Structure 1
Amino acid sequence: MLGGGDPGDAFAAAHGVSVKPLIELDGSPMAAHVLRALRDSGRVRRVLYVGPTTSDIEALTDGRVTDHGTLLSNLEAGVEALRATGLPPGERVMVVTADIPMLSAQAVRDVLDAAPADAGLIYPVVRREVCEAQYPGVKRTYARLRDGTFTGGNLFLLDPALIGQFLPRLRALLAARKAPLRLAGIVGPGVLLGLLTGRLTVAALEQRVSELLGVRACALVTPHASIGTDVDKDADLELARQHLSRQS
């Protein structure tokens, strides 16, 4: 699980903690709620946590990895630490951010059950209407495709044997995400135009990402809005509090 963050995060500082996943929510750090969902799913064999911890977090994990400062560096460090513990052949790694406290054990099980066995990268996405039905008034960032309007999930599955193959390419994509001309040179102007105009299909996007990363990539449409609803502002935190209060 990725629980690191920017030490200068104003949102975390406003709540008296160094990084966002340590913000208290219903009596526990935000990250602990995510960890309980993983544990309660009964489908996660080992959990390593990347980032600063508390006793509540440590009680739910099998080990801690030092925060390396960036998303991809933390991802790589966490996967390598898991591989060092001895992953069985064919076992996949689930990467989860620590700021989705409404995640449920059933959502974890459903993603694992629906994930195609031959994909090296599985990325869940949620339809806008699903997010707004489950969490009325929620504000998310969406991408409009021909198949619908989606927000990205905050967990994904990958084959750890392929991480060295696609991480350098993924770094290049992320580095170019705010430079349209550079991004167009990587993904292709037709793909970028299709994204901007809403004419691109999910299947075409999967194919292009697969070509770019060198592994079969799958966008998995999930009915669980919690997967695509992270907490990054006070309104999100209040939504999570209300949801957890109803659950308890």
Structure 2
Amino acid sequence: MSTALVLAGNRGGVDPVAAYAGVTDKALIEIGGRTMLARVVAALRAAGMTRILVSTASEPVRAHASDLGAEPIAAGPGPSASARIAFVEAGAPLLVTTGDHPLLRAEWVDAFLRDVPPGTDVAALLARRTSIERDAPPTRRTYLRFADGDWSGCNLFLLATPKAVAALDLWERVERDRKRPWRIVLRLGVPLLVRYARGRLPLAEGLARIGARVGARAALVECASGLAAIDVDKPADLDLVRRLIA
């Protein structure tokens, strides 16, 4: 595959991390002399991505993406809608990441794409809590607690086949209902969530069952490096990443 999407939009209003860094957009924050977006694009290019789409509604980010040799593309009202626009434009397979992932490395991308199981429609890269605390002990992440350990996402996804649109549909519904969690529960299935709440659901099984519910084969790939789970969601994350890169 050779096409990647970088989600570099915002949810409206002033982004606290951008304000903390004194720039208009989070993707334009400089770390070690390069913007976060430049670092992400460089990692994708080193991993063999020949077409790199950057989803944004910001004119400064659009201009910067063009300067980097990437292709600006319209953003939707949220991440799922933005991914859908790009998926319609580029088709499958499409690698998806975010513009606030400045530690992204080509070798993580290579390993992810290599290790996605055959026949998968949609896949996600995750790291175990033990790996994250080993490689970046000061960080605080949000963890998914499964029977086989605690996991955190690495902001790297593969929409491998046209059936991956079903995962975008689910993602969009979850975003829409995030203030009405009972609707999410009904969509994902109460028995599945009961097993999760009791700590009896392995992560791989959970993803597979959710995928089957929406009509797509979903899989996870484990990243050996805990640094892959470090993105920049808050000022403390930016301080940490700057220290790590320095």
Q: Which TM class, normalised by the smaller chain length?
A: 0.7 to 0.9
1:47 maps to 52
Residue 160 of structure 1: how far off its partner (Å): 4.9
Task: Answer yes or no: is the 8 Å Cα contact 1:11–1:232 preserved in 2.
Answer: yes
Q: Distance in 1 between matches of 2:8 and 2:33?
A: 18
Letter of the 1:59 counterpart? D
8 Å CA contact retained: 2:103, 2:227: yes
Where does residue 2 of structure 1 map in the other structure?
7
> How many Å separate the matches in 1 of 2:51 and 2:34?
21
Specify the SS of the correspondent of 1:193. helix
In 2, Cα distance between the equivalents of 1:168 and 1:54? Answer: 26
Q: What is aligned with 1:209?
A: 210
Q: Does 1:167 align with 2:158?
A: no
Q: Displacement, 1:55? A: 5.4
Q: Which residue of 2 aligns with 1:67?
A: 75
- Within-5 A mapping of 1:142-181: 142-181=143-182
- How do 1:199-238 and structure 2 match up within 5 A? 199-238=200-239
Which amino acid is 1:62 matched to?
Answer: A
Gapped regions of structure 2 (runs ≥ 5)? 1-5
Give unmatched runs, 5+ long, in structure 1.
Answer: 84-90
Match of 1:37 among 35, 43, 48: 43
Equivalent position amino acid for 2:140 in 1: K
Q: Distance in 2 between matches of 1:223 and 1:177?
A: 31
Query: In structure 2, how many angstroms separate the alpha carbons of the residues matched to 1:244 and 1:117?
Result: 35
2:18 equivalent among 9, 12, 16: 12
Tell me the matched-pair count.
Answer: 237
Q: Greater strand share, 1 or 2?
A: 2
TM-score by length of 2: 0.88
Aligned match of 2:126:
125
* Deviation digits for residues 195-229 of structure 1 (CA, Å, limit 9, x no counterpart): 22322112320222112221100021111323321
Equivalent residue letter for 1:206: L
Corresponding residue for 2:3?
none
TM-superposed deviation, 1:158: 0.8
| 3-state secondary structure, aligned to 1:49 | strand
Between the aligned residues of both structures, percent identity stands at 30
Which letter maps to 2:45?
A: R
Normalised by the length of structure 1, the TM-score is 0.87
Q: Give the CA deviation at 1:151.
A: 0.6
Alpha-carbon RMSD: 1.9
Is the CA contact (8 Å cut-off) linking 1:121 and 1:156 kept in structure 2? yes
Matched position secondary structure for 1:215: coil
For 1:3-52, what per-residue CA distance to the aligned partner results, in whole angstroms no more than 9, with x for missing partners?
A: 111341232223233321121211222111111111112x2231111113
